[in-house]
Structure 1
Amino acid sequence: MSSIPLPATQRDCMSAAAKRWKYFRKIFKFEQMDFEFAFWQMLYLFISPQKVYRNFHYRKQTKSQFARDDPAFLLLFAAWLCVTSIGFAIVLKLSFLQFIHFLLYTIFVDCIIIGILVATFFWFILNRYCRKKDEVQDVEWGYTFDVHLNAFFPPLVLLHFFQLFFYNGLISHEWFISRLLGNTFWLVAVLYYIYITFLGYSSLNFLRYTHLVISPIPLVIIFYIVTLVSGFNITHSLMDFYKYRVV
């Protein structure tokens, strides 16, 4: 009996460890990275995030994985963290050593450690409870981490870049307009994160219950209204926290 050849997507399938090794092996080979395409993805995360996830599906068809196999996006993301951290150091009047402390904290705690925790949470929940019945395909951990980076990038630019231009002149005061502007920045950033995360998982047709990702939105809006009424300036409070943890 002649054997039936496996489809290319199964034949070329690698283990998770092999995929990680291939990914990190390229991290210092800049000539092999597509920085132009990574920049395009960052732009479209603001204006049309659906197009970014369409590309993830193309990658699954051609390379047997949803997760990125090119670390260019991660390196550009790290570069943005460095640039925005310089802005924070200027706004908060940090010394050079405090700036280094702040940068390392932002990269390794705010981005990597929290990113790993969030990605692992979604990876476990989605594979355990949200896969359709009798579905063989699972959600890759690398993909959940990519979804987190995608969702984290617009808030990073909004909160750690654009917001800084308004902080000392307006947001840092006790006026209502200060609270309104600062808290609105945070509202838009959180809604961006939730929406892009939802797009990432709802685009996988073998998952169910993905609408639950957007279920916290009413609570976020209620919290936003409460902060305005109660006089709580989110940006001002978190700036104090950022400065406290590096002083």
Structure 2
Amino acid sequence: MNPHISLPRQHSSTFGGIAPSSSRSDAVRMPRFFKRLFKFPQMDFELAIWEMTSLMIAPKKVFRSIYYHKQTKNTWHRPDPSFTYLLALFLLLTALAWGVAYADGVLPTLRITLVFIFGHFLLASLAVSTLAYVLVGRLLGPGSGEEALEFGYCFDVSIRAFLPVWVVLYVVQFLLMPVVAKDYWISHFFGNLLYFVAAMYYTAITFLGYNALPFLQHTELLLAPVPILSILFVISLFGFNAAKHLAPVLWCGATLRKHV
């Protein structure tokens, strides 16, 4: 399934000449999302898989398709938890792998699983979504008119931006840990490069997500972290091994010392 919707970007508060009827108080509500939370037959897992593939190779396509959703559902947010469920499942599998490799027993592995899914993914995504809802809506919003940033859409952007972080730091880094956690400069370089790529991916997808909304202005400001991340990456090459100090499993109380 590969929708191709390409409409010109417009900085206006209307869509297709029709002013949306939703107010900002309605924008924060996600009743349809919660109603479909356990209705698995109604979830579009095919679309979620297409989005995951596209986010890694052509992320702009994912956010182009929201125009079609806005026209048919009159909301930017997709009240379908299929993407969240799939990514949570993938995190479960990688958490088990990290647990088998670095945890001592079943309970530590369970702790890693819970921290990965509910801490790193859901809680962090909710925190970023809340921050974006407040700051992006106020600083980059139209300032007037009925169109408003939806909290549900902010959550959509956050969980989709987390996908490349999972791929790079939870999958690729796990496979390369015996190499990138060594005390050699080349290990520092490739290990730190993983974190740099993950952060750049997260920033780029976040920008594309909000840039797709026609009523937001100056969304290029969301790319401000790019030069900062570039400088930090260069500085980190002089002695700081990100893989050895920031690996996801370390935030769960596990250790790397006996495995690298």
Using the size of structure 2 for normalisation, the TM-score is 0.84
Tell me the distance in 2 between the aligned counterparts of 1:32 and 1:102: 31
Q: Give the structure 1 partner of residue 165 of structure 2.
A: 155
Is residue 205 of structure 1 aligned with residue 205 of structure 2?
Answer: no
CA contact (8 A) 2:203 2:222 kept: yes
Q: Give the structure 1 partner of residue 38 of structure 2.
A: 28
Residue identity matched to 1:91: A
Q: Give the structure 1 partner of residue 90 of structure 2.
A: 80
Cα deviations by residue, 1:11-60 (Å, 9 ceiling, x for unpaired)? 799x7499623212222221111111110100000011111001222111
More deviation, 108-117/141-150? 108-117
Unaligned runs of 5+ in 1: 1-6
Q: Give the structure 2 partner of residue 218 of structure 1.
A: 227
Q: Give the structure 2 partner of residue 51 of structure 1.
A: 61
Instruction: Note the aligned Cα RMSD (angstroms).
Output: 2.4
Residue identity matched to 2:243: T
Q: Give the structure 2 partner of residue 4 of structure 1.
A: none
Q: Secondary structure, in 3 states, of the residue corresponding to 2:237? A: helix
Is residue 126 of structure 1 aligned with residue 139 of structure 2?
Answer: no
CA contact (8 A) 1:9 1:64 kept: no
CA contact (8 A) 1:92 1:243 kept: no
Shift of 1:121: 0.9
Q: Which is helix-richer, 1 or 2?
A: 1
CA contact (8 A) 1:26 1:32 kept: yes
**Cα separation, partners in 2 of 1:130 and 1:50, compared to 1, 3 Å:** same
Greater relative contact order (Cα 8 A, min sep 6): structure 1 or 2?
Answer: 2
Tell me the distance in 2 between the aligned counterparts of 1:18 and 1:174: 48
**Cα separation, partners in 2 of 1:153 and 1:244, compared to 1, 3 Å:** closer
Is residue 234 of structure 1 aligned with residue 242 of structure 2?
Answer: yes
Using the size of structure 1 for normalisation, the TM-score is 0.88
CA contact (8 A) 2:168 2:194 kept: yes
Q: Give the structure 1 partner of residue 192 of structure 2.
A: 183
Aligned residues: 239
**Cα separation, partners in 2 of 1:49 and 1:241, compared to 1, 3 Å:** closer
Shift of 1:117: 1.4
Is residue 194 of structure 1 aligned with residue 219 of structure 2?
Answer: no
**Cα separation, partners in 2 of 1:9 and 1:240, compared to 1, 3 Å:** closer
Percent of aligned positions that are identical: 33
More deviation, 234-243/182-191? 234-243
Q: Give the structure 2 partner of residue 62 of structure 1.
A: 72
Q: How does 1:92-171 map to 2 (within 5 A)?
A: 92-168=102-178, 170-171=179-180
**Cα separation, partners in 2 of 1:26 and 1:241, compared to 1, 3 Å:** closer
**Cα separation, partners in 2 of 1:136 and 1:61, compared to 1, 3 Å:** same
Tell me the distance in 2 between the aligned counterparts of 1:142 and 1:227: 36
Shift of 1:90: 2.7
Runs of 4+ aligned residues of structure 1 deviating over 3 Å after TM superposition are 7-13, 15-19
CA contact (8 A) 1:147 1:197 kept: yes
Q: Give the structure 2 partner of residue 3 of structure 1.
A: none
Cα deviations by residue, 1:81-102 (Å, 9 ceiling, x for unpaired)? 1011122113324421111111
CA contact (8 A) 1:50 1:199 kept: yes
